[in-house]
Amino acid sequence: MIKKYVQEGKIYFPAIEFIAKVKLAFLFVFFLGLLSKSSEISALNLQESRIDITGTVVDSESVPLPGVNILVKGTSKGVTTDFDGNFSIEDVPEDAVLVFGFLGFDTQEVPVNSRTIIKVVMEAAIGALDEVMIVGYGGTVKRSDVTGSVSQVEVEQLKDIPGGSVESLLQGRVAGLQITTSSQAPGAGASVRIRGGSSLRGSNSPLLVVDGFPIGDAGNLQQINPADIESIEILKDASASAIYGSRGANGVILVTTRNPKNGKTVINVRQQTTVSQFTSELNLWRNPVLLAQLSNESRINGGFPPLYIGEVASTGLYYPSVQELQNGDWPHNVRWDDIVFRDTPINNSTTIDVSSSNEKTNFSFSGNYFTEQGVYIEDDYSKFNYNLNVDHKLYDNFRITFSSIGSKGKRNNNGGLAYWRSPIIPVYDENGDYYLTNNNDFNHPIALTENRVNKNKTIDFLSFLGLEWDIIPSLKLTSRLNYKFGNSISDQYFPKTYTEAGEFNNGVASIGNYQAETIISETFANYNKTFGVHKLGVTAGFSYQNDVIRTSNLGASDFVNEVLQNENLGAGNPERNTVGNNLIETELVSGIFRVNYEFREKYLFTFTSRADGSSKFGENNKWAIFPSGAIGWKAGEENFIKELEIFDLLKFRASYGISGNQGISPYQTLSRYGVSEYYNNGNWVTVIGPGYEVGRTGQGGIEVLWGGIPNPDLKWETTAQVDFGVDMGFFNDRLQVIFDYYEKHTDDLLQERILPISSGFDRMWVNEGSIANKGIELTLDGTLIQSNDFTLGATAIFYRNRNEVTGLGSTTESGNLIDPNTGMEFRFSGNSLAMFRAFPNLLAVGQPVNVFYGYKTDGIVQNLEEGVSAGLEGDLAQPGEFKYVDVNGDGVISVDDRTIIGDPNPDFTASFNLSLNYKKFDASIFFNGVFGNDVLNTQSFNQPSNQPLRWTPDNPTNSFPSLRDGRQVEFSDWWIEDGSFVRIQNLNLGYSFEIDSLVSARVFVNATNLYTFTKFDGYDPEVGGDGIYWGGYPRLRQGTIGLTLTF
């Protein structure tokens, strides 16, 4: 049944299959037509010339430069160099002057002096404002000519920083790019956002494009070896990213990998070794006596008998008395962290790359092997990456390119968890078995490490084949086919003992398989031509994307023999085996169009439009057009500005564009059917709807289920963005200033609406609600000192983004709530926390996303009278309890007194980088900071360093409550802390030298996470978007030593 509806979903694209079949024929006819037209085009002849000139243009390393513009000075006559840097120009006066211009190089004027053969060596432009930037689909533009908001990452600054993934290296390096690394587990990724989140339930991750190939969201950065990267551009506003349509709704990260240079064979060998350690001491119980005393006090206050009295408890565990511990009669004081943590985890990265070329073929290959030890024993990660690039010129105007990037990873995530286990509890009992506190002790770290299985293996590769045809010097046609494959296999086994899942299922195993394939076919043409004072660039093309995801899982339980664990699922009870699989297929069809126009090298205009059709939406809403426009004025080129002699560059930019988001699960517009049956403790349980179950005894059965309520009106989530910017350059480009102000408004948010239980379903996807983001970005990049031997540079970045929920849809239908005190419309978001029995985050109209909602506190209750007068009742009115604020003034503390108590969104972020070069020595230091964000510290009162500060009659503090087992705490501002921090994120020292004429070398040392300045009481204030801190362990400080050899 599902297959039937999937096929019906694809019928909405009746032209796709036809287009795929005739595409090659169409391109062939198109090529022939353009070729016949190109034969009619001839160069202008100014009959006054006397000689014909041929020549070659190369760079300082003798690499031929294609596409160099050559003009006869004082005329409009000109030509462009071919793939080999050759040119030919006829009828030129013997005393003429030729002007050579090329992006990224200094313009040269060369007198002819009657020569008929001329070779020109062009020097790279010193001015950073003339650097060439990639803007997608074969487009490149000088930084000074960019109309959109595009940032370029200084890749050379990142080359020595350790890390298995690119996203961690980019943190704090680009204004408007927010990267959060809340986990340091081996192989862990990071959260990547550009200019805040535009969606509440859909995807907020930017699109990643590698060598022109869109490969998915920014999480795929882990597949790339940082050493392979040549350049990174960040497309931030709608004008810059609109060429990628809905895929670029959250911004775009363009990564270009290294390519070989003509005429050279180069071998690079790079070795890095990194040693890690905690940045701070673990906050654990080291004093068994104090632990026992406080535990007894807490139980007595809660009405329970004390445990540490030298008797065997009901669980069968003996608890020594406080006196025994004080006298040293109890021999155990276990440092569990010493048992489960490695002292100095070590990471290794080895890279070898080879590149070579001749007149027709460029070739490069690199391989990297990366290993990473986690801080837990039995927790490690390894990965192999490769990158292959081949570029072959079949004819003078026809080139074929092939690229492939791949990775293979392996993660063993079986480290012990309970390093906070009581030091009074020994590791083993007198028989050498694991010492368990009771039959339900499922937290023994060594038992878990040695008996549980939790592994994951991944294989990812992407490749593309491209054809480039220079039909005429100003027109290039590109067609390429891209293929991406990803596979992940997870193995888990929970034994009959020591694990909760295994205990209740007599051993349980699972093997999961995830496989994703993407095919993208794109054909586009680029036309670039200069007509006197007019410069025109046009891009037009077609794109088709097909994604197929297959998942399957096998499960077994009730094992007869568990020697082979998950390697022998047949040892489980066949009546309780589970098998499941799923197939998802989606399609995206697009047409692209972009125009760049420049007048007198001062006035800039860009228009982009992309039409996207997605199979995820209903028949009437599959297609949407996303236009954008941008203008720029290089005011610094005006004479009245030049006369000021202040600016090397003064450019004003403005852009507006609309983008869409389709980041939801497919088939939400269709009726979905499936089957379900499984065995549960002697009963067959049949699923009758998402989240609802009914049990029945008997033979069991298979039911056909309605999988969800369709919404045929589901449509694109749309974001309108406006951007105003100014770029300035001073002191011969030694100081660059880039400022942007932007606003983003997203409407028709894709959200899951909660449904009444009577419907038989719990939720459905709808378009409702809106969100707004606005912010400023400022980048200052300067060379403070520059001489022959010494250079000192600095970069400062400031970024502020404020978001606001501007709508949540219909109050009645959407299940929204109304705050009784303010009338604020809201709904809870995120996850409910068991410790508070409440959702700490909410979405509220007029408020930032995920603000904290709870009680305000006014210290600690000091006596019963004070508690009663504060509106508290029962145990909550006792001395030592939290005193909550009666917000509505009714004299009673209730849920109606809850209000907004914090905001996890930062007020602003900032970073600063200082670098110097002296002869062959270089050094840099990088600071990164986040300011004004609130963090919910769930561990505030559990930390051993805080519990001795509790309220007692002898210590009537207003800071900490008393200890009391069984207390049900309410979520309040007492748990909220300032999460602001400034981190010395990186320090690097390097020295480059030549061993002989054939070999050069570079040695370097690097330190990351040197120190964090913060008032936050936990280990690390850097947490996820919901602002909740769960504990864990301190951030790792890492020291790296590395060597690079170049042959």
pLDDT, one tens digit per residue, over 204-220 is 889 888 888 888 787 77
Give the pLDDT confidence score for residue 550 in this predicted structure.
96
Give the pLDDT of residue 468: 95
CA-nearest of 139, 19, 255, 103 to 608 is 139
3-state secondary structure 927-984: EEEEECCEEEECCCCCCCCCHHHCCECCECCCCCCCCCCCCCCCCEHHHEEECCEEEE
Handedness of CA 750, 756, 759, 762 (dihedral sign): positive
pLDDT surpasses 60 at 490 = yes
Reported confidence tier of residue 1042, pLDDT bands at 50, 70, 90: very high
From the list 59, 121, 117, the residue with the least C-alpha distance to 89 is 117
Burial class (CB in 10 A: 0-12, 13-18, 19+), 237: buried
Element (H, E) at 605: strand 603-614
How confident is the model over 151-190, as pLDDT tens digits?
888 787 777 777 656 777 888 899 989 888 877 777 777 8
pLDDT band at 125 (very low <50, low <70, confident <90, very high): low
Q: What's the pLDDT score for residue 308?
A: 95
Among residues 594, 591, 616, the alpha carbon closest in space to that of 605 is found at 594
Cβ(456)–Cβ(411) under 8 Å? Answer: yes
Q: List the alpha helices (DSSP H) in 211-285.
A: 238-241
pLDDT for the residue numbered 165:
67
- Residues 240-282: tens digit of each pLDDT: 888 888 888 888 998 888 876 656 788 999 999 999 999 888 8
**Sign of the dihedral defined by the CA atoms of residues 637, 641, 643, 645, in that order:** negative
User: What do you get for the CA distance between the two ends of the chain, in Å?
Assistant: 61
Q: What is the pLDDT of residues 793-839, one digit of tens each?
A: 999 999 999 999 999 887 666 678 899 999 999 989 877 888 888 89
In the predicted structure, residue 45 carries a pLDDT above the cut 60: no
Average pLDDT over residues 757-786: 86
pLDDT band at 1043 (very low <50, low <70, confident <90, very high): very high
pTM assigned to the model: 0.82
* DSSP reduced 3-state for 31: helix
* Domains, the chain, ordered by start: 2-38 (no CATH), 51-122 (2.60.40.1120), 285-340 (no CATH), 672-709 (no CATH)
**pLDDT above 80: residue 960:** yes
What is the structure's pLDDT at 256?
A: 87
> So what's the pLDDT on residue 706?
58
Q: Quick one: pLDDT band at residue 15, thresholds 50, 70, 90?
A: very low
> Tokens standing for 682?
């002697």
Residue 705's pLDDT is 54
% residues pLDDT > 90 (the chain): 50
Q: What pLDDT is recorded for position 248?
A: 82
pLDDT of residue 612: 94
Q: Which of 170-174, 255-259, 653-657, 911-915 is least confident?
A: 255-259
DSSP letter for each residue of 468-527: EEEEETTEEEEEEEEEEEEEEEEEEEE-SSSSHHHHHHTSEEEEEEEEEEEEEEEEEEEE
The 10s digit of each residue's pLDDT in 390-434 is 999 999 999 999 999 999 999 998 876 667 788 999 999 889 999
Side-chain-facing half-sphere of 292: CA atoms under 13 Å: 21
Residues 6+ apart with CB under 8 A from 824: 818, 844, 845, 846, 847
pLDDT given at position 673: 65
Determine the Cα–Cα distance for residues 36 and 866; give it in Å rounded to an integer. Answer: 94
Long-range pairs of 313-320 with CB within 8 A, sequence gap ≥ 24: 315/437, 315/438, 315/439, 316/438, 317/437, 317/438, 319/292, 319/424, 320/292, 320/424
Is residue 134 very low, low, confident or very high in pLDDT (cuts 50, 70, 90)?
Answer: confident
Higher per-residue pLDDT: 692 or 312:
312
pLDDT at 25: 37
Averaged over 539-558, what is the pLDDT? 94
pLDDT value of position 275: 96
Contacts 24+ apart (CB under 8 A), 891-897: 893/855, 896/820, 896/821, 897/855, 897/856
Confidence of residue 918 (pLDDT cuts 50, 70, 90): very high
CA distances 700 to 423, 505, 674, 679, 685, Å, are 49, 19, 17, 8, 8
Which pLDDT value is given to residue 418? Answer: 67
pLDDT at 228: 85
Report the pLDDT value the prediction gives residue 90, as an integer from 0 to 100.
87
Q: What's the rounded Cα separation, in Å, for the pair 29 and 690?
A: 52
Give the residue-averaged pLDDT of 276-293.
90
Which pair of structure tokens corresponds to residue 688? Answer: 């009758």
pLDDT of residue 1012: 96
Nearest-angstrom CA–CA distance, 84 and 100: 16
For 827-838, the three-class secondary structure string (H helix, E strand, C coil) is EEECCCECCCCE
733 or 887: whose pLDDT is higher?
887
Output the CA–CA distances (angstroms, integers) from residue 346 to 342, 375, 445, 990, in the order listed. Answer: 9, 9, 22, 21
Average pLDDT over residues 738-755: 90
Q: What is the pLDDT of residue 71?
A: 83
Higher pLDDT, 653 or 998: 653
Question: In this structure, are residues 442 and 495 in contact, taking their beta carbons and an 8 Å threshold?
Answer: no
In this predicted model, what pLDDT tens digit does every residue of 192-203 receive, in sequence order? 899 888 887 767
Q: Are 632 and 600 in contact (CB under 8 A)?
A: no
Q: Which phi and psi angles does 897 have, rounded to 5°?
A: -95, 0
301: helix, strand or coil? helix
d(CA 827, CA 813): 12
Query: pLDDT category, 10, cuts 50, 70, 90?
Result: very low
By residue count, the chain amounts to 1047
